[in-house]
Structure 1
Amino acid sequence: MPNTKIMMLLRGQNLLGYRHYADDVVDKFVETAANNGVDVFRIFDACNDPRNLDRATKAAKKTGKHVQMAISYATTPYHTKEVYADLAKTYADFGADSICIKDMSGLLKPYEAYDLVKAIKAKCDLPVEIHSHATTGLSVATLLKAAEAGADVLDTAISAMAMGTSHSPTETVVEMLKGTEFDTELDIGALLEIAAYFRDIRKHYSSLESKFLGADTRILKSQVPGGMLSNLESQLKQQGASDKMDDVLKELVNVHKDVGYVPLVTPTSQIVGTQAVFNVLFGRYNNMTGEFCDLLTGKYGKLPAAPNADLVKKALEKNKMTEPLTCRPADKIEPEWDKMVEEAKKNGGNGSVEDVLTYAMFPKVATKFFETRANGPVDAEKSFAKKEEAPKAAASANGSYTVTVNGTAYNVTSNGSSITVNGTAYDVAFGAPSAAAPAAVATTVGGEDVKAPVAGTLLKHCFSNGAKVTKGQTIIIVESMKMELEIKAGAAGKIHFIAPTGSQVSNGQKVAEVQ
């Protein structure tokens, strides 16, 4: 597509991750993205803190590419059209080439859009682009009023991929504006051909779709963006709590207020959403994630309003801080590019700048990717076909059947005392059916059980095996729902770990014992 510009969404100092990166990593990422074909950088910060956009914007301007700076839209007492217009003026002073109103939750109402575009246009003479999700059902009308107010670009999605938590259909908006002064002159026939093509493609991924495909007006209250809604659905399913969605959406309103009405967009949407899930599952703020504590203590930037003082005090204690950060958060981060280069090599990277950046953004995922890359790319068509065609194994110890694991089929034959897998025999013992649980790697007796409070990945043992611990000390860190959660010792004694680091643990699984 030589005539089509490629745009990427860049989270300012967060880049693609869930934390702030050092300035040298930001510079390298932006430079590499531009060299690899990115033409337009849409740069935003979840807190709308201009300090978090400064370095990424300078790096993008240096490449000579188009720099679009985005306003993360929210509807709270602390977010007004005057605040947003002033922010747009700040972005213009930064050197932005255009402004984007990023309405990730579909909260922007038609007449508010009209007033907001007018206010921004009065403050700065830059093109304005409207990015409004269809989640709440408002977006088509919102785009129309934005166009009438002078918006220059409207984000849409081809109809086969539109609506739900996506965007308004391109064809709908084209027809809506036809014959007006805003006529796009796009060929509706060509658009219908594109839609037909993607309708067929979409069928292959139906098993991965969120069930939120229509308008969800609960979002007008909870302000959950589209991506966050599907994430919450997946997270609750993982924890065996799919029936708790309404409770989580209600609790999210409280958490949002407690954390100073920060706009809910990645990464803050994930941080606030996960905390709301934990509050519902374990009681309000009995378990505060590390990222939530960082958000409360200024490590993500300045919050729009003052957060809950009691929670800030609790977060400061957990982070071993005396007061919240007031400076640009990245000013506290030492240069880390050289460190990332070494770590990427140790974990299987090939030494390229792309591999280093992949590791820097997604260290756990990158390590697994590096390990399996030698096997070549996965054929998505065959992978999905295998999942659809593979018969389900019979719930019996005897018989022959096919078991499919991660897309690979295994022929299994069992006679009650042994099984044969792809021709290789194994002696086994079959017991009565019971709830599945990951196998332990060590056994201990007669101590205080330490159980995983959530399903997730065991990231770290905080002590060596057999070390003495005191009650209340953090002994294990689990990653769940993309956030880190500490597991503390319930008694003093010697710690004996059962589940190894890197293992998948289930909710309630015994992971260690204190003797």
Structure 2
Amino acid sequence: MAQKLLIRDLTLRDGQQSSFATRMTQQQIDRVLPYYKDANFYAMEVWGGAVPDSVMRYLNENPWERLEKIKAAVGEASKLTALSRGRNLFGYAPYTDEIIDGFCRNSIQSGLGIMRIFDALNDVNNVKSTIKYVKQYGGIADCAVCYTIDPKYPKLSFFDKLKGKKNPAPVFTNEYFLDKAKQMAALGADMITIKDMSGLIQPSRIAELIPLFKQHLSIPIDFHTHCTPGYGLGAVLMAIVKGVDVVDTNIWNFAGGTGAPAIELIYIFCNKLGVTLDVNMEAVAKINKELHAIRKELEAVDATKQFPNPFNPLTDTLPADIDKEFDKAIEAARNNDETALLNACHAIEAYFNFPKPNELVKKAEVPGGMYSNMVAQLKQLNSMDILEKAMELIPTVRLAAGLPPLVTPTSQIVGAQAVNCALDLKAGKPMYSNVSNQFVNLVKGEYGKTPVPVNPEFRLKIAGTREEIPYDTSKYQMQPNPTLPEAGDVKLAENEKEVLLLELFPQVAKSFLTKQKEARYQALHKEEENKQAAKEEVKEEPITGKIVEAPMPGNIFKIQVQPGDTVTKGQSVIILEAMKMENSITSDYAGKVKRIFVKEGVSVQAGAKLVEIEV
């Protein structure tokens, strides 16, 4: 029987998130949905990841409505799929089963067909509840094994070897990944995804993993990767040759670079391989034409600003030399010749003007998003001079924290901590003088079991305990749901879906829902608008006390003191969210809080006044 390949299209979620900062509006989404209905993709990834946060934060749109509108337009033509982080769902906190239950139920009622579930530590215990509830409400549980590689440790000197010192043995072996997949299958996973969020999996490695998974698992295998360091197209072709069931792709104008390979290139490979691909490429071409216009509209957030050359595999003829490169790539994949395979794929991508491999990410062997976050953090701190040192510290920090896979959120936690450690050294302080709350929680054990145990002495230093302390959802407290006087005394969250938004995205949803309720109220009471706009201008008192300043740019997440409170030296007074990390800002002074200069939710720059302390 001829091999059949299913396609999960990522364009409307991972595609736009990887390359366009998740800024597609509902109006832009609506323009392509009629064609998607005809495209016959097995699945369309449209939700989860950064979509719910971004549509509220930047577009003032309701995430539930986005999912429901896509379902209404596409119907049963393709399964709608979303990405969630197991027990953490979209955030950094472990949620109770009650919240996971409500989230899965509402997602499936709103049109979701497949939930791709992963855990940043590959801790299978963290995906149990989501599998249970997704299946309970009629969804497909797609469990993802997060692919990662062992760090490149510093080379040992002659004297190190003489003393018997050794670098750690490899952890992320083929057997490690297979074991995780088998555990998930035993829990009821309907399919398994090899999730290579960094694009670091080489064709030779996927050539080993696909047959291994197919031999030991009886459920479909999906392969997800990115093109950032240049392995993506070759790795996907190798996976197809080795018999993978599903691959993840983007449509042409959203493909390549930081995104996944283009469906159009996979279509050519499948035709040459005799692999059945039940995708309506005429509909895909119509989507792609609209995506070209949409990409122009997204120019301000375009990660590469490099359009691929126009191409439609149904109507355009390949030049003989490029057609030959497709044949070379297939022959190389069949012969397990990785070098020839990558050379042919790079020649194909260069011809079509897809971005070149990111050599820095390839060499550093860290996710592109992790690297760009570190660069952004250092630019904000005017400390780009320590980038090399921060990159050098990643293996050390990662190993100390239990060797977590580099996937959101652990990649950001490790990257931000490597930057903090480099800043500590630059300032002449010991490493880990400044640690984020998330790093503390990771080391403590609140995110789950790390691939290797954390040294108890290191845990004591960072988290104040030698013993691992797992999360305890019995202490979970629901977010406040106040009444809004300025919006007609309605509740901030008026139904279960809004309550879930508030739980999953506390700051962003609070701001979004408040604006929504106020706008609705004002539309009904226009004559009441701005009655209190002109308020008495209060002259600012002169500063007589000591000032606690923001050490870095960020958002005020939580104010922990009030005017009149007595504080001790070293006491945390503000939680500052910077680069998605929560940082405790402590007072260098003992005294009484005179005044607070900021409000929760506002953005501040480095050096901004936060709190005045009378000493």
TM-score normalised by L of structure 1: 0.80
Match of 1:511 in 2: 610
CA distance in 1, matches of 2:416, 2:423: 10
1:459 equivalent to 2:557? Answer yes
CA distance in 2, matches of 1:236, 1:28: 39
Match of 2:506 in 1: 363
Question: CA RMSD, aligned part only?
Answer: 2.8
Match of 1:334 in 2: 474
Which residue identity does 1:249 align to in structure 2? Answer: M
Match of 2:115 in 1: 41
Contact 2:229 2:358 in 1 (8 A): yes
1:6 equivalent to 2:80? Answer yes
Can you list the C-alpha shifts for 1:396-431, whole angstroms capped at 9, x where unaligned? Answer: xxxxxxxxxxxxxxxxxxxxxxxxxxxx99xx9xxx
**Structure 1 residue 234 displacement after superposition:** 4.3
1:111 equivalent to 2:204? Answer yes
Which residue identity does 1:324 align to in structure 2? Answer: E
**What secondary structure is seen at the aligned counterpart in 2 of 1:95?**
coil
Match of 1:160 in 2: 253
| Inter-CA distance 254–442: structure 2 relative to 1 (3 Å threshold) | farther
Can you list the C-alpha shifts for 1:18-52, whole angstroms capped at 9, x where unaligned? Answer: 11101111111111111111000111111111110
Query: In the TM superposition, what are the counterparts of 1:493-504 in structure 2 within 5 Å?
Result: 493-502=591-600, 503-504=602-603
Which residue identity does 2:468 align to in structure 1? Answer: P
Residue 303 of structure 1 is aligned with which of 439, 447, 450?
450
Which residue identity does 1:468 align to in structure 2? Answer: T
Match of 1:66 in 2: 140
1:274 equivalent to 2:421? Answer no
More moved, 148-157 vs 490-499: 490-499
| Inter-CA distance 168–450: structure 2 relative to 1 (3 Å threshold) | same
**Structure 1 residue 443 displacement after superposition:** 4.0
Can you list the C-alpha shifts for 1:289-340, whole angstroms capped at 9, x where unaligned? Answer: 11111001110010011335553112222xxx45212x5x3xx112758x44
* Identity percentage of aligned residues: 33
CA distance in 2, matches of 1:509, 1:314: 30
| Inter-CA distance 245–202: structure 2 relative to 1 (3 Å threshold) | farther
Match of 2:496 in 1: 353
Contact 1:158 1:171 in 2 (8 A): yes
Can you list the C-alpha shifts for 1:469-493, whole angstroms capped at 9, x where unaligned? Answer: 2222222221111111112222322
Match of 1:294 in 2: 441
Contact 1:222 1:252 in 2 (8 A): no
Unaligned runs of 5+ in 1: 378-423, 429-438
More moved, 97-106 vs 174-183: 174-183
1:343 equivalent to 2:481? Answer yes
**Structure 1 residue 112 displacement after superposition:** 0.7
CA distance in 2, matches of 1:58, 1:238: 43
**Structure 1 residue 459 displacement after superposition:** 2.8
| Inter-CA distance 254–510: structure 2 relative to 1 (3 Å threshold) | same
Which residue identity does 1:290 align to in structure 2? Answer: N
Contact 1:130 1:143 in 2 (8 A): yes
1:316 equivalent to 2:316? Answer no
Which residue identity does 1:289 align to in structure 2? Answer: S
| Inter-CA distance 309–124: structure 2 relative to 1 (3 Å threshold) | same
Match of 2:130 in 1: 56
**What secondary structure is seen at the aligned counterpart in 1 of 2:249?**
coil
Contact 1:128 1:152 in 2 (8 A): yes
Contact 2:104 2:133 in 1 (8 A): yes
Match of 1:484 in 2: 582
CA distance in 1, matches of 2:230, 2:247: 16
Which residue identity does 2:551 align to in structure 1? Answer: P
Contact 1:105 1:219 in 2 (8 A): no
Match of 1:132 in 2: 225
| Inter-CA distance 285–214: structure 2 relative to 1 (3 Å threshold) | farther
Query: In the TM superposition, what are the counterparts of 1:23-42 in structure 2 within 5 Å?
Result: 23-42=97-116
More moved, 257-266 vs 289-298: 257-266
Which residue identity does 2:603 align to in structure 1? Answer: Q
Unaligned runs of 5+ in 2: 1-73, 151-169, 306-354, 426-430, 485-489, 521-532
**What secondary structure is seen at the aligned counterpart in 2 of 1:146?**
helix
CA distance in 1, matches of 2:539, 2:115: 47
Match of 2:360 in 1: 218
CA distance in 2, matches of 1:440, 1:96: 63
| Inter-CA distance 358–440: structure 2 relative to 1 (3 Å threshold) | farther
**What secondary structure is seen at the aligned counterpart in 2 of 1:334?**
helix
Query: In the TM superposition, what are the counterparts of 1:384-399 in structure 2 within 5 Å?
Result: none
Contact 2:456 2:466 in 1 (8 A): no
1:149 equivalent to 2:228? Answer no
**Which structure has greater helix proportion?**
2
| Inter-CA distance 464–151: structure 2 relative to 1 (3 Å threshold) | same
Which residue identity does 1:106 align to in structure 2? Answer: G
Contact 1:104 1:226 in 2 (8 A): no
| Inter-CA distance 221–51: structure 2 relative to 1 (3 Å threshold) | farther
**Structure 1 residue 208 displacement after superposition:** 1.5
| Inter-CA distance 468–336: structure 2 relative to 1 (3 Å threshold) | closer
| Inter-CA distance 299–215: structure 2 relative to 1 (3 Å threshold) | same
**Structure 1 residue 374 displacement after superposition:** 4.5
**Structure 1 residue 195 displacement after superposition:** 2.1
| Inter-CA distance 196–323: structure 2 relative to 1 (3 Å threshold) | same
**What secondary structure is seen at the aligned counterpart in 2 of 1:270?**
helix
Residue 192 of structure 1 is aligned with which of 271, 275, 285?
285
CA distance in 2, matches of 1:310, 1:220: 34
Contact 1:40 1:68 in 2 (8 A): yes
